[in-house]
Structures are given as structure tokens and as C-alpha cells.
């Protein structure tokens, strides 16, 4: 539309310019006609009336004619294909003849015969008429050109109108086609977004809308995918929170069950230990007396020795039962856990049974003094480290670490044994449960009771060779984690809760 308008405007501007030029040319031609007519008038007045001063008047008119001819020769002639200068020069001979006759007349004066005056006047009139005819032809040609330009102007308007109508029709058709394809394109992308929304409603948060464009539709698809990713992240975050809370509830439930189990078994153990202790003491004393009286009977001596050893073992079990069921009173004081660990490892190093075992200690220098009962914690460390050593009959690394974890101080004991099988993992803190041929099964139960009396906790991380991730995330073995609060849960020398729960 803009090009057509510019094209029509150019043609109309050209026509208007030519019309202006023709108007100026017509004025110039009419001026020449008037000037030529004025040139003949002084001569006629001089010849007929003999009026004086007509020669000056004639000279002025001739100068005006010359000026007009020069002006016509310097402009464009719109009425003929000839150059304006040529057309102007075609008038010059006639003007020159008039001028020559006028000089003869004005130079001769009144002595010219009457017959000669008539002839000269006739010649001057003929030259004037011939010049006027030429000027009239020029005017006619200019008027014809005006008519031609008017027709051209109408033709330009008709073409412009036709082109505008055709272009408008094409634009409407193009707009309709574009709207059709655009609507199909938009509906396609909207349909993809609707499909994505249905997948999300079904819980398929892994579905993503394909981004095929870089325009606003593409931005909408990317925003949709970003929203889905954020929803997925929120759901995963909530899942992690739920899993953590579930694990905490499961741990709390297990702790409660374990506490109730220990409380009931502790009550039973207290009564059994009290009832069995005196008879066992009597048996041991009598066996020792018999051994003194039968020194000359080796076979009987050997049987009595076996009875004595079994009695001592039963008495040791009774002592463990009494220790397990006794109400513990904690003597809490700020304690250097690193020093406790080093002391426990030192006692272990002076003992026997460390063939092939390498002790690795990684103690944190940033660990503050922890409020606890040092004697009870030494008992805990002794039990845990003894279990770790017994889990590595063929040797391995025994790693003990200390660290600070938020509001807790942590001691971890890692062995390189075979790990605890899945079938018995839930029973390792149960009293009297043991896999050792000569164990009482009370070691970890006592550890559990003492840690709870401190307001702490004991956790076991385990990896056996049968686990699918064994060796990739951490080596095979058992890791016992002892956690103590950095703030004392009870006042110093205040009795702790019953060790049975």
C-alpha cells in the first residue's frame, strides 16, 4: 500500500509540475503576442499620423520582445518536441524584419512616398501576423498538452484506485491465511501445554513440554517446565522431610521398645541375680574346700576345677546382671573425650589379642569439654572397642574418631569385620543376645543404658559383603556412633534415671 501510494504520488506530482510549467509557458506566449502587437502600433502611428516619439516607443517594445524571447529559450517547452531555443529562434526572423523596416521608416522620416508607406506597413503587418500565428500554434500545442496531462492524471487515479483495491484484497486474503496458520500453531502449542498439565495432574512430574520456538510460546513452555521442576523439587524435599521424620519416629519407637524391653528384663535380672548370688558363692567355697581335700586324686581334681571355672563364669554373669539392673548414679563433670579415647586405646594396646589389628585414631581438636560421667564412659568405650576387636579375628583397621555434630559430641568406632547380618541387626541391643561362644550378651545393653542415662544415643551403621553397595560408598564393617549432648542433662552428682530404662 505504501509503495502504490508513493507511485501514484510521484506521477501526480509530475503531472502537477508539468501543468505549472505549461501555465508559465502560456503566460510567456501571451506576453509575446501582446509585445509583438505593441511593436506594430508605433510604426502604424508614425506612418499614418506622423506622430513624433514613436521610434523610442518602438525600441522599448522591441527590447521587451527580445527579453521575452530569451526567457522562452531558457525554459522547457511543454507543447512540442522541439527545443525551446529553436522555437524562439523561429520567431527571431520575423521580429528582425519588423525591426529593419522600422529603422528604414524612422530613418527616412516624412519623405517616404505614400505608396511606399502602404507597402512597408503591409509587410510589417504580415510579419506580425506570421509571428502571431506561430505563437498561436504554440498556445494550441500547450493546450493540447494540458488536455493530455489531465487525461494522464485521471489514468493515474484510476490505476492507483485499482491497485489499492487489488492490494487490499490480497492483504485481506493474506491476513486470513496468516490468521489460520497462526491459530493452528497457537492451538498446537496450547494443546501441548494442556497435555503437560494432564501429565502433571496424574503425578508424572518427569514430563516436560518440548520447546520448539524462541518466541513468547517458547518462553511459556520454558516457564511451564521450570514450574514443573520446582514442583518436583518441592515434592522431593517434602519426601525427604517425611522420610527423615519417619526415620526419626521409627528410631524413637525402637528406642521406646528397647527401653521397655530393658526395663522389664532389668527387673527380672535384678531378682535373679539376688537369688543366685548366695548359692553360687556357697558352691564356689565348697568346691575350693573339696579341691584341697582331694589333692591326691587327679581325675576328681580336674572335675572339681571345671566346676570351679563354671561357677566363676556364672558368678561373672550374675555380676553383669547386677550391673545391668543397678540404678546408676552419674558423677557428671566436664570431660575431655579425646583423653578418654586415648586412655581406652592405651589399655587396649597393653592387652593381648591385637594380632594384625591396626589402631587408627582421628581426634578432633575443636571438640570442647563434654559433661558426662568419665567412669561410665570408660566402661562404654571398653565394651564397644572390645566388640570391635572381637569382630576382626583375622586383623584389620580399628578406627576411632571424635567430632562435633551440632549440639552433640560424637565418638565413632569403626571395625573392618564381616558386619552384622540383616537377620540379627534389630537384636544387637537385646540383653543376653550374643553370637560369641562365651559372651553374656549384656555388653551393648549396658552401653545403651549408660548412653540413655546421659541423655545421649548410640547408633550402629553396618555394611556386610552381601550389601549391593559394599565397597563403593564405605568399606565392609560395623561403625558404632556414640553421641553425647554438649549440655549436661542432669545436675552434677544427681542420680540418673534407672539404668533399666
Residue ranges of domains in the chain, CATH in brackets = 2-169 (1.20.120.1730), 236-326 (1.10.287), 329-501 (3.30.565.10)
**How many Cα neighbours within 13 Å face the side chain of 298?**
0
pLDDT at residue 86, as a whole number: 65
**Number of residues in the chain:** 501
**Mean pLDDT highest for which of 148-157, 206-215, 260-269?**
148-157
% of residues, the chain, pLDDT over 90: 9
- 399 — pLDDT class (breaks 50, 70, 90): very high
Asked if 311 contacts 280 with a C-beta cutoff of 8 angstroms, the reply is yes
pLDDT at residue 493, as a whole number: 44
- 404 — pLDDT class (breaks 50, 70, 90): very high
Short-list 370, 304, 300, CA closest to 341: 370
Residues contacting residue 20 through CB under 8 Å, at least 6 positions apart: none
pLDDT at residue 341, as a whole number: 92
| Consecutive H or E run containing 97 | helix 84-108
Average pLDDT value for residue range 57-82: 66
- 340 — pLDDT class (breaks 50, 70, 90): very high
pLDDT at residue 439, as a whole number: 60
494: pLDDT strictly greater than 50: no
85: pLDDT strictly greater than 60: no
Q: What is the C-alpha separation between 477 and 487, in angstroms, rounded? A: 31
- 473 — pLDDT class (breaks 50, 70, 90): low
Q: What is the C-alpha separation between 17 and 120, in angstroms, rounded? A: 44
Q: What is the C-alpha separation between 256 and 445, in angstroms, rounded? A: 14
Grid-cell match 564397644, residue found = 384
pLDDT at residue 307, as a whole number: 85
Q: How many CB atoms lie within 10 A of CB 383?
A: 18
pLDDT tens per residue across span 108-131: 765 667 667 677 777 777 777 777
| Consecutive H or E run containing 266 | helix 216-293
- DSSP letter assigned to residue 420: -
> When comparing pLDDT for 80 and 189, which is higher?
189
Q: What is the pTM of this model?
A: 0.42
For 122-243, strand residue ranges (E) read none
pLDDT tens per residue across span 183-240: 777 676 677 777 778 777 777 777 777 776 666 667 777 777 788 778 888 888 888 8
77: pLDDT strictly greater than 70: no
Q: How far from 88 is each of 75, 118, 394, 458, CA to CA, in Å?
A: 11, 29, 134, 126
Residues contacting residue 11 through CB under 8 Å, at least 6 positions apart: 152, 156
Grid-cell match 550389601, residue found = 467
387: pLDDT strictly greater than 80: yes
For the chain, report the end-to-end CA distance as a whole number of angstroms: 95
Asked if 4 contacts 167 with a C-beta cutoff of 8 angstroms, the reply is yes
Asked if 207 contacts 200 with a C-beta cutoff of 8 angstroms, the reply is yes
pLDDT tens per residue across span 274-326: 667 678 778 878 888 887 777 678 888 888 888 887 787 777 777 766 666 66
pLDDT tens per residue across span 438-457: 566 677 888 888 888 888 99
Q: What is the mean pLDDT of the chain?
A: 75
Amino acid at each position: 500500500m505504501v509503495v502504490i501510494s508513493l507511485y501514484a504520488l510521484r506521477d501526480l506530482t509530475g503531472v502537477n509540475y508539468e501543468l505549472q510549467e505549461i501555465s508559465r509557458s502560456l503566460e510567456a506566449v501571451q506576453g509575446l503576442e501582446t509585445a509583438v502587437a505593441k511593436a506594430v502600433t508605433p510604426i502604424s502611428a508614425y506612418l499614418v499620423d506622423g506622430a513624433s516619439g514613436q521610434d523610442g516607443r518602438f525600441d522599448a517594445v522591441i527590447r521587451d520582445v527580445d527579453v521575452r524571447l530569451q526567457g522562452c529559450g531558457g525554459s522547457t517547452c511543454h507543447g512540442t518536441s522541439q527545443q525551446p531555443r529553436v522555437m524562439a529562434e523561429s520567431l527571431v526572423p520575423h521580429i528582425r524584419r519588423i525591426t529593419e523596416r522600422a529603422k528604414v521608416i524612422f530613418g527616412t522620416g516624412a519623405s517616404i512616398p505614400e505608396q511606399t508607406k502602404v507597402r512597408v506597413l503591409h509587410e510589417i503587418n504580415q510579419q506580425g501576423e506570421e509571428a502571431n500565428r506561430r505563437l498561436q500554434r504554440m498556445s494550441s500545442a500547450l493546450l493540447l498538452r494540458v488536455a493530455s496531462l489531465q487525461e494522464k492524471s485521471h489514468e493515474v487515479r484510476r490505476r492507483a484506485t485499482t491497485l489499492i483495491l487489488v492490494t487490499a484484497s490480497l492483504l485481506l486474503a493474506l491476513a486470513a491465511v496468516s490468521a489460520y496458520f497462526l491459530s493452528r500453531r497457537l492451538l498446537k502449542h496450547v494443546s501441548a501445554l494442556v497435555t503437560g498439565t494432564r501429565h502433571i495432574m496424574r503425578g508424572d512430574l518427569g514430563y516436560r513440554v518440548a520447546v520448539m520456538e524462541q518466541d513468547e510460546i517458547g518462553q511459556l513452555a520454558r516457564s511451564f517446565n521450570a514450574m514443573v521442576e520446582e514442583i518436583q523439587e518441592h515434592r522431593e524435599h517434602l519426601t525427604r522431610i517425611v522420610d527423615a521424620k519417619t526415620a526419626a519416629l521409627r528410631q524413637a519407637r525402637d528406642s521406646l521398645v528397647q527401653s521397655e524391653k530393658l526395663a522389664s528384663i532389668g527387673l527380672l535380672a535384678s531378682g535373679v541375680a539376688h537369688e543366685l548370688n548366695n548359692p553360687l558363692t556357697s558352691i564356689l567355697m565348697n568346691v575350693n574346700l573339696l579341691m584341697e581335700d582331694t589333692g591326691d586324686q587327679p581325675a576328681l581334681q580336674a572335675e572339681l576345677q571345671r566346676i570351679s571355672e563354671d561357677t566363676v563364669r556364672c558368678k561373672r554373669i550374675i555380676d553383669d546382671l547386677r550391673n545391668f539392673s543397678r540404678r546408676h548414679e552419674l558423677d557428671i563433670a566436664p570431660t575431655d573425650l579425646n583423653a578418654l579415647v586415648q586412655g581406652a586405646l592405651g589399655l587396649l594396646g597393653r592387652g593381648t589379642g591385637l594380632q594384625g589389628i591396626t589402631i587408627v585414631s582421628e581426634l578432633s581438636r575443636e571438640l570442647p569439654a563434654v559433661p558426662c560421667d568419665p567412669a561410665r564412659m570408660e566402661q562404654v568405650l571398653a565394651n564397644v572397642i572390645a566388640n570391635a576387636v572381637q569382630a576382626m579375628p583375622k586383623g584389620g583397621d580399628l578406627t576411632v574418631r571424635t567430632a562435633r555434630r551440632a549440639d552433640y559430641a560424637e565418638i565413632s568406632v569403626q571395625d573392618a569385620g564381616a558386619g552384622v547380618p540383616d537377620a540379627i541387626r534389630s537384636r544387637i541391643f537385646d540383653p543376653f543376645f550374643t553370637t560369641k561362644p562365651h559372651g553374656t550378651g549384656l555388653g551393648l545393653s549396658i552401653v545403651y543404658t549408660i548412653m540413655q542415662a546421659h541423655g545421649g544415643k548410640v547408633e550402629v551403621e553396618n555394611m556386610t559383603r552381601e550389601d549391593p553397595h559394599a565397597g563403593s560408598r564405605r568399606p565392609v564393617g560395623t561403625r558404632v556412633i556414640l553421641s553425647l549432648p554438649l549440655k549436661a542433662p542432669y545436675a552434677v552428682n544427681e542420680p540418673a534415671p534407672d539404668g533399666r530404662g
